[in-house]
A and B are shown apart, each in its own frame.
Chain A
Amino acid sequence: MTAPRRLQILSVAVVAGLHLAAGIAQPAGPLVTATPGVAGATEAAAEAALKNCQLEQSLRLWREILAADPIHERARFVVTGLTAQALDLDSHLAVIQTLIEQKATDDVHPLLDAASRRAATDTQKARILYLRGRLARELSQPGRARANFEAAGKLFGDSDWAGRSAIALAEMDQAESVPARARRLLSAVGENRQLSASVREEAALKLLLMDSSGWTSRRQVAALGELLGDTTDDAVKRRILSEIVRSCLAAQGQWTPEAVEAAGAILDGDPPHAPAGSILNKLSSVAARSQDPSVLDALLKVLAEVKLKDAPLARRAALARADALISRAVVDDDAATVKRRLAGAGEALDRLAAADPTPADTEQIRRLRGRALLAEAQKLIALSGPAEALPAVTKAKAHYLAALPADPAGALAQLQNIGRLLEHVGQWHTAIDLYRQIARQFPHMAEAADALLRVAEIYEQRLNAPTAALEVYAEYAGRYPAELPYRQLDVGRRLRRLGYANVLDFQKRNGLDPDGAFGPNTRRKLEQLEESFDVIRLASPGRDTGVIRGRFVHPTMFAIARRLQVQGRHHDAIRAHLLLLNLFPTKKQADDALLAVARGLRDNLLFEEALGAYTELIEYFPKGNATSAAYVEAAACLENLGRWKQAGELYELYLKKFPRYRHAGLCAARIKLLDEVQQYQEFLAANGAAAKAPEAQYQIGVILYKRLGNHTKAAVELAKVADNYPKHVRAADGLFTAGAAHLRTENFPAARAVFAKLAADYPQSRLADDAQYWIGHTHEYAARALGKLDARRIVLRRRAGRQRESLLADMQLRRRYHPQARPGEQMPDSVWTTDALGVLTSGSKRDRVNAELFRAIAAYRAVVAKFKMGDMAGKALHRVGEIYTNYLNDPEKGFQAYQELLTNYPGTTQAVNALYEVGAYRLHNKDFAQAVKCYRQFVYNYPTDKRAQDAMLAIARCHMESKAYDKALDAYQSYLSKFPAGRGADFAKAQITWIRTYHY
């Protein structure tokens, strides 16, 4: 309740007291009638006076009656009441004055009228006139105000209230820009020795304020300080101090130590409750908000010294001091001092808590304790690091969790702040603990839903723990569903599900009174309908209202699963997709998830399990977007399993079901090819030892490789040629193609193994040097992909060995799709690589890249060493040069490789490149003569090469660099004669002009 309002109520009480007369008058009838004769006439007169509010006259009469009859009850009652009232007129007027000062002017007029009827002394009458003037001024009636003030001055010239009226008149004059009159009035009051000191000092203050209105704040404060020394009245002193505070604030725009000290001085003289409360409010605000150490120090000093007799005010001062201590700690830079100050604040709060505080104080103490804990946590994080600060954060967390029932909004806001603070300093797990605690303790609140979601986001985005994130998302979806199952829907949705637009529609169509209200009849009818609609018998109405809805999380979960798949974490990806299917089987991502599961199994060569997943997809989502692809991919799995007939049947089924889909042509072609493969297979089965058997085996592999594009199976089948028929002419060919097939699947280790076998077992084969070259190529390619060495990036599929191991070991998952699944892999392990990029070898990425490059060089060198006369030797040397020059940043060694190439294999295609590269190397090393030689040789030998132009320009540049301008001129001219419209023609012309201008 505001102060003016309280005063108004008090005034009403006063009025009620005045109207006691009326109250007293009520029972007068029977009492008076009981008294006979003269006494009766006196009583009647007394009653009449009472009725007319002539209270003093009435009192006199009643006293006479009481003197005559001491046991006269009515007289005793009225005299007691009226005496109290008469004596209380001054306090009544004080109340009215306060009301006016507080601008609570409603209904003050009757009060003043009543008071004026009672006024007996000149002082009271002067005061009433003064108050009437003040009231009129407040009500914007300046004429009436002035009249009253002037009347007070004229009728009661030397009274204090007349003096105050003069001061009020001066204020009005000043407001009306008549300063001379105002000054004269104030001077007159100040010089009137018959007035009390307080009035004269007040006039002096007003005069000073009026005179100092154009002064600087410093001068004004100095003058006020001087006046303060001469002032004796406490109230005026307080006003002077208030003016000092105001001046300081106006000058600085914020609290200064001087202002704080002045405000503190106001409290020194044990001021009345209201002004003291007002000052304490201001100081509390400073304590809570100020970040200026000097202000806070001054405040702490003031609050330590202040001695207030009023207990509530003293408590408020103590609270403000605790607040100021916390604020001072916040701006401290030393951890020990911070702790000391906060401990001081804690002790102060403990003392306050022990002193039987009011509920409001308890709330304030709780708030300040939380603030102290939070401040400690924040300061320690900043000054000593998170490890030191965590206990303080934990205490703050416990404090706000305990405070949550009492102040849910405030405590939750602070808890969220703590969570953000923990996140800010990277204490993710501690933040997760906090959020989980909120979610566990207050699951019925929306904030709990947010907290749980935040946990999931931290796992996903900060801790790189997608599987943990998925678990939390699942829990979130279970606890805060984005859409409720039918049984948990509200009435509106229940009606809509049954085909009704709303309750009114339902009532109209079911013969109910259409009032739009969901009354008992309507409810009963709806339940009947639901009962008859067997599928959807609902729980009792209203049971599940108020369930907190959450966000849709299935798109996020699907995205996480996709990411896992791309990262090569197949097992985790499959589990993530299965979780999605488990929770959201009707969402549009469900069939994609199942397809991803099938593909994950297929990519790990678990073809039987993949088939199970594809079958499930085909059966569960017959009309899904991904279903047609499932047919083709399932058929490919069957190919890998060697079940050619079933694969063909599946392709046929595809053609039958999706004759216009994009894979129709592919299926038709494959059906024929599978027939062919089947025939070879049958031939092999029947004639395994026949002379044509190796050829049949080879043809199966070739069909798979070249025409079906099934490289995994092709590698297996082609390797069989060498395994089963090592002497056959197709053996080396088979091995080489098997290696190529492995390369297609980016299975570098397997490809290297096959090529190495070919190079070792069939060194005389025409493919042996190729095989050795490709070994080098796999290393080089892996290094380029891993180190991102080329401008155009090589991106390989990612695979994780541990994930494959865990997938193979997850028999529960595998048997879900293939009940006969056995531990271990289905295909030879060599077919599946775990480490195409060598990521499992130790060392940094740069080390791994370099190691791969050196392995590549070694392999290329082996080509040159073992197969000197082969067609791959030149290529190998060229690659060695390229690796040194482009990837290992060692052009010297690259140059050596090129030189070796030019020396030993000058007629090869690679020699062209080598020659050009050597020229570039010489130019780079400023060996211009040799560079010119190389480039000339290049132009002479390969005049049609697209780099011939560059070579001729390079020759000219070499001459320019060696300042052989005549030769340079010749070189540019010969370039122009050969390439008059070449891309360097303009440049050549300019150079020619320049040489002619400056050197001839």
Chain B
Amino acid sequence: MLTKSLLLMLSLCVCALPVTATSRLAGAAPAPSSASAPSPAPAAGDQAEAVKVYARGHYAAVVALLGPKHEAGRANIQQRLILARSYLHLGCRDDALAVLNSVLAADIDNPEANALAGRIRHDRGEHKQALRYLQHAYRLKRDPATASLLGRCHYALGQPVKAKVHLEAALAADIRDPTNSLLLGRICLDRGMGALAQKYLLMAQEAGATSAELHELLGRAYMLQRKYIGSVQARRLEGDPAPGDIVAGGVVLGKIAGVAGRYKVCTPYCALHEGYRLLAARPRSSEARFMLAAGWLAAGNTELAAEHLKPLMQTQPPPPGAAELHARLLLAREDYAALEARLAAPAATGSLDRAKSSQFYYHAAIALRAQGNRKEAIRMLTKAEKLSPTSGVVLRSLAALHLSLAQNDQARQYYARLVELFPDADDIDQLRNTLRVLSETKGGAR
């Protein structure tokens, strides 16, 4: 009697285990084969015996034991479920589904049969049908494995919102499965929710997921949140670490000038750190290079940024965003000639749209003007003006620069355009006044 009840408990436990788990069990047990498999179970073939054989991982034996009984219509629901599971382990999905259909015909509200049927449909890519079974199963029994499958089905059907809700439910009940949190992270990332994506991806990492994909997704989540380098701390470090070395989890950004032995170290929760991890996993990853270039540019290290950007710019066509990053790098390096060449580059080599190009010209002009190179600044601004002829800031800068160089005719033209284009500007009276003075007088350089 005691043995029987123990076996019943074991059977319940086995049924409750997900297929993957039981597969692992099967892997641990001696592999069943037709040669080495024990001869069919004793003729008695009762349920306890079937459970015992199933627990040993002898699925073929279970099929041999319960199959005829099922064919004969004498198997009870529990036995049919064990049989279906055994079929599943043996890769006979159709047989398993047939058995499960027979179970559902008898008991449509059997949660396990519904869940298994849903799983089979999902594995076959029949997500809509799978959804029907799984939703029913989930209504009957709030099982995290079913919720996870439901989430996957919704995701496959392009319903990320519902997928997220179910995956979150699965994750709340069982945090150990990193695939749930990874998928959730991916969904959040696709929805542009960087902070949530970061949270789920870190949970996946903590649950043991280690893959290049995880680093890539994490890096993207950080990039989305503008955490190119994240928080930076001043740390005292041993030895003489170089920029880019990962020390105590953070990335060394460089020495702090004037203080011996102290370094700027950025947090590991940033794109720069993930970029290095991704690069280690995938040495040819352009995504990793992009993260690193963006990170180093944010950290002000243009040499390392250029080093990582170079391979990106050599690809044809360059990845999206690389051209803009390159332009920003050139601007930071004050290499205005190269910046001009970049902005004038044809689309095949990664040109920027007109508005962005105009902005870069404008920023270059502002920097040149600050250095006292006003003529060059005017040249840059003229290029910006060609790209965005109605830009207020560009026209104002041009007008002021011409005025400062005593080029009154040009200044007057720009002021006239400003007055025409921005009749409701806050300082319209001042603009009109300047225009009037310029029109009335010769000279007027300030």
Verify that A and B bind, or say they do not.
yes
Name A residues whose Cβ lies closer than 8 Å to a Cβ of B: 384-385, 387-388, 390-391, 393-394, 404-406, 408, 427, 429-430, 433, 440-441, 443-444, 463, 471, 474-475, 477-481, 485, 487-488, 534-535, 537, 539-540, 543-548, 578, 581-586, 612, 615-616, 619-620, 816, 819, 842-845, 847
A471 and B231 contacting across the interface, CB-CB below 8 Å:
no
Q: Which residues of the other chain, A, contact B268 by a CB distance below 8 angstroms?
A: 539
Q: In chain B, what residue has the closest Cβ to A406? A: B258
- Between B203, B232, B258, the greatest number of chain A beta carbons within 10 A of the residue's beta carbon is seen for B232
User: Among the listed A478, A543, A548, A586, which residue makes an inter-chain contact with B227, where contact means beta carbons less than 8 Å apart?
Assistant: A478
User: Among the listed B231, B259, B370, which residue makes an inter-chain contact with A479, where contact means beta carbons less than 8 Å apart?
Assistant: B231
Q: How far is the CA of A619 from the CA of B268 in the complex (A)?
A: 32
Asked, given contacts A487-B202, A578-B192, A619-B165, whether A474 binds B299 with beta carbons under 8 Å apart, the answer is no
Taking CB atoms and an 8 Å cut-off, the chain B residues in 17-75 that contact chain A are none
Q: Which residues of the other chain, A, contact B387 by a CB distance below 8 angstroms?
A: none
Q: How far is the CA of A46 from the CA of B195 in the complex (A)?
A: 92
A537 and B206 contacting across the interface, CB-CB below 8 Å:
yes
Q: How far is the CA of A545 from the CA of B249 in the complex (A)?
A: 13
Q: How far is the CA of A388 from the CA of B176 in the complex (A)?
A: 66
A443 and B264 contacting across the interface, CB-CB below 8 Å:
yes
Taking CB atoms and an 8 Å cut-off, the chain B residues in 171-213 that contact chain A are 175-176, 190-196, 199, 202-203, 206-207
**Digit string of B228-244 for contact with A (CB within 8 Å is 1, else 0)?**
11111111000000000
B192 and A543 contacting across the interface, CB-CB below 8 Å:
no
Asked, given contacts A535-B203, A583-B225, whether A620 binds B161 with beta carbons under 8 Å apart, the answer is yes
User: Among the listed A408, A488, A539, A582, which residue makes an inter-chain contact with B195, where contact means beta carbons less than 8 Å apart?
Assistant: A582
A816 and B192 contacting across the interface, CB-CB below 8 Å:
yes
A384 and B446 contacting across the interface, CB-CB below 8 Å:
yes
Does any Cβ of A come within 8 Å of B281's Cβ?
no
Q: How far is the CA of A463 from the CA of B393 in the complex (A)?
A: 9
Q: Which residues of the other chain, A, contact B196 by a CB distance below 8 angstroms?
A: 585
Q: In chain B, what residue has the closest Cβ to A549? A: B231
B374 and A429 contacting across the interface, CB-CB below 8 Å:
no
Q: How far is the CA of A548 from the CA of B264 in the complex (A)?
A: 13
Q: In chain A, what residue has the closest Cβ to B369? A: A390
B248 and A481 contacting across the interface, CB-CB below 8 Å:
no
Does any Cβ of A come within 8 Å of B416's Cβ?
no
B226 and A478 contacting across the interface, CB-CB below 8 Å:
yes
Q: In chain B, what residue has the closest Cβ to A622? A: B165
Q: How far is the CA of A535 from the CA of B235 in the complex (A)?
A: 28
B313 to chain A, nearest CB (A): 22
Asked, given contacts A440-B299, A444-B264, whether A479 binds B230 with beta carbons under 8 Å apart, the answer is yes
Q: How far is the CA of A463 from the CA of B264 in the complex (A)?
A: 32
Q: Which residues of the other chain, B, contact A816 by a CB distance below 8 angstroms?
A: 190-192
Q: In chain B, what residue has the closest Cβ to A403? A: B258
B269 and A488 contacting across the interface, CB-CB below 8 Å:
yes
Q: Which residues of the other chain, B, contact A843 by a CB distance below 8 angstroms?
A: 423
Q: How far is the CA of A390 from the CA of B401 in the complex (A)?
A: 12
Does any Cβ of A come within 8 Å of B3's Cβ?
no
A902 to chain B, nearest CB (A): 39
A433 and B370 contacting across the interface, CB-CB below 8 Å:
yes
Does any Cβ of A come within 8 Å of B15's Cβ?
no
B423 and A845 contacting across the interface, CB-CB below 8 Å:
yes
Does any Cβ of A come within 8 Å of B325's Cβ?
no
Q: How far is the CA of A531 from the CA of B22 in the complex (A)?
A: 26
B175 and A535 contacting across the interface, CB-CB below 8 Å:
yes
B195 and A583 contacting across the interface, CB-CB below 8 Å:
yes
Closest 4 CB pairs of A and B: A405-B258, A391-B372, A844-B423, A387-B404
A478 and B191 contacting across the interface, CB-CB below 8 Å:
no
Q: Which residues of the other chain, B, contact A444 by a CB distance below 8 angstroms?
A: 232-234, 256, 264
B193 and A581 contacting across the interface, CB-CB below 8 Å:
yes
Can you list 19 A-B contacts with CB-CB less than 8 angstroms, sorted by A residue number?
Answer: A385-B404, A390-B371, A405-B256, A405-B259, A406-B258, A444-B264, A478-B225, A479-B231, A485-B269, A487-B269, A539-B249, A543-B248, A547-B231, A581-B192, A581-B193, A582-B194, A583-B194, A583-B195, A585-B196
Q: How far is the CA of A578 from the CA of B192 in the complex (A)?
A: 8
B331 to chain A, nearest CB (A): 10
Asked, given contacts A430-B370, A844-B424, whether A441 binds B158 with beta carbons under 8 Å apart, the answer is no
Given A408-B258, A540-B248, A816-B191, list of 16 further CB < 8 A pairs? A385-B404, A387-B446, A405-B256, A440-B298, A475-B226, A475-B228, A477-B225, A481-B231, A543-B250, A546-B234, A578-B192, A582-B192, A582-B225, A584-B195, A816-B192, A844-B423
Q: Which residues of the other chain, B, contact A429 by a CB distance below 8 angstroms?
A: 363, 366
Q: In chain A, what residue has the closest Cβ to B265? A: A444
- Between A479, A537, A584, the greatest number of chain B beta carbons within 10 A of the residue's beta carbon is seen for A479
B193 and A582 contacting across the interface, CB-CB below 8 Å:
yes
Does any Cβ of A come within 8 Å of B8's Cβ?
no
Q: Which residues of the other chain, B, contact A578 by a CB distance below 8 angstroms?
A: 192
Does any Cβ of A come within 8 Å of B400's Cβ?
yes
Q: In chain B, what residue has the closest Cβ to A407? A: B258
Q: How far is the CA of A390 from the CA of B404 in the complex (A)?
A: 12
Asked, given contacts A405-B256, A441-B300, A534-B206, whether A387 binds B374 with beta carbons under 8 Å apart, the answer is yes
Q: Which residues of the other chain, B, contact A385 by a CB distance below 8 angstroms?
A: 404, 446
Taking CB atoms and an 8 Å cut-off, the chain B residues in 332-386 that contact chain A are 363, 366-367, 369-372, 374
User: Among the listed A487, A534, A545, A585, which residue makes an inter-chain contact with B176, where contact means beta carbons less than 8 Å apart?
Assistant: A534
B161 and A471 contacting across the interface, CB-CB below 8 Å:
no
Q: How far is the CA of A881 from the CA of B156 in the complex (A)?
A: 67
Does any Cβ of A come within 8 Å of B412's Cβ?
no
B161 and A390 contacting across the interface, CB-CB below 8 Å:
no
Q: Which residues of the other chain, A, contact B192 by a CB distance below 8 angstroms?
A: 578, 581-582, 816
B130 to chain A, nearest CB (A): 20
Q: How far is the CA of A499 from the CA of B242 in the complex (A)?
A: 41
Q: Which residues of the other chain, A, contact B114 by a CB distance below 8 angstroms?
A: none
Does any Cβ of A come within 8 Å of B162's Cβ?
yes
Does any Cβ of A come within 8 Å of B14's Cβ?
no
A433 and B367 contacting across the interface, CB-CB below 8 Å:
yes
User: Among the listed A405, A408, A474, A548, which residue makes an inter-chain contact with B226, where contact means beta carbons less than 8 Å apart?
Assistant: A474
Q: Which residues of the other chain, B, contact A394 by a CB distance below 8 angstroms?
A: 370-372
User: Among the listed A404, A619, A844, which residue makes an inter-chain contact with B162, where contact means beta carbons less than 8 Å apart?
Assistant: A619
B249 and A543 contacting across the interface, CB-CB below 8 Å:
yes
A391 and B195 contacting across the interface, CB-CB below 8 Å:
no
A582 and B267 contacting across the interface, CB-CB below 8 Å:
no
Q: In chain B, what residue has the closest Cβ to A546? A: B233
B195 and A585 contacting across the interface, CB-CB below 8 Å:
yes
Q: Which residues of the other chain, A, contact B258 by a CB distance below 8 angstroms?
A: 404-406, 408
User: Among the listed A585, A619, A842, A847, which residue makes an inter-chain contact with B193, where contact means beta carbons less than 8 Å apart?
Assistant: A585
Q: How far is the CA of A819 from the CA of B370 in the complex (A)?
A: 48
Q: Which residues of the other chain, A, contact B250 by a CB distance below 8 angstroms?
A: 543
User: Among the listed A384, A440, A619, A845, which residue makes an inter-chain contact with B161, where contact means beta carbons less than 8 Å apart?
Assistant: A619
Asked, given contacts A440-B299, A581-B193, whether A615 binds B227 with beta carbons under 8 Å apart, the answer is no
- Between A387, A390, A537, A843, the greatest number of chain B beta carbons within 10 A of the residue's beta carbon is seen for A387
Does any Cβ of A come within 8 Å of B13's Cβ?
no
User: Among the listed B162, B164, B230, B366, which residue makes an inter-chain contact with A478, where contact means beta carbons less than 8 Å apart?
Assistant: B230
B404 and A540 contacting across the interface, CB-CB below 8 Å:
no
Does any Cβ of A come within 8 Å of B257's Cβ?
yes
- Between A441, A444, A546, A616, the greatest number of chain B beta carbons within 10 A of the residue's beta carbon is seen for A444
Q: In chain B, what residue has the closest Cβ to A587? A: B195
Q: How far is the CA of A537 from the CA of B270 in the complex (A)?
A: 18
Q: Which residues of the other chain, A, contact B224 by a CB distance below 8 angstroms?
A: 582
A393 and B370 contacting across the interface, CB-CB below 8 Å:
yes
A423 to chain B, nearest CB (A): 14
A391 and B370 contacting across the interface, CB-CB below 8 Å:
yes
Taking CB atoms and an 8 Å cut-off, the chain B residues in 138-166 that contact chain A are 158, 161-162, 164-165
B226 and A471 contacting across the interface, CB-CB below 8 Å:
yes
Q: Which residues of the other chain, A, contact B264 by a CB distance below 8 angstroms?
A: 443-444
Q: Which residues of the other chain, A, contact B372 by a CB distance below 8 angstroms?
A: 390-391, 394
B235 to chain A, nearest CB (A): 8
B373 to chain A, nearest CB (A): 9
B300 and A544 contacting across the interface, CB-CB below 8 Å:
no
B175 and A480 contacting across the interface, CB-CB below 8 Å:
no
B126 to chain A, nearest CB (A): 20
Q: Which residues of the other chain, A, contact B257 by a CB distance below 8 angstroms?
A: 404-405
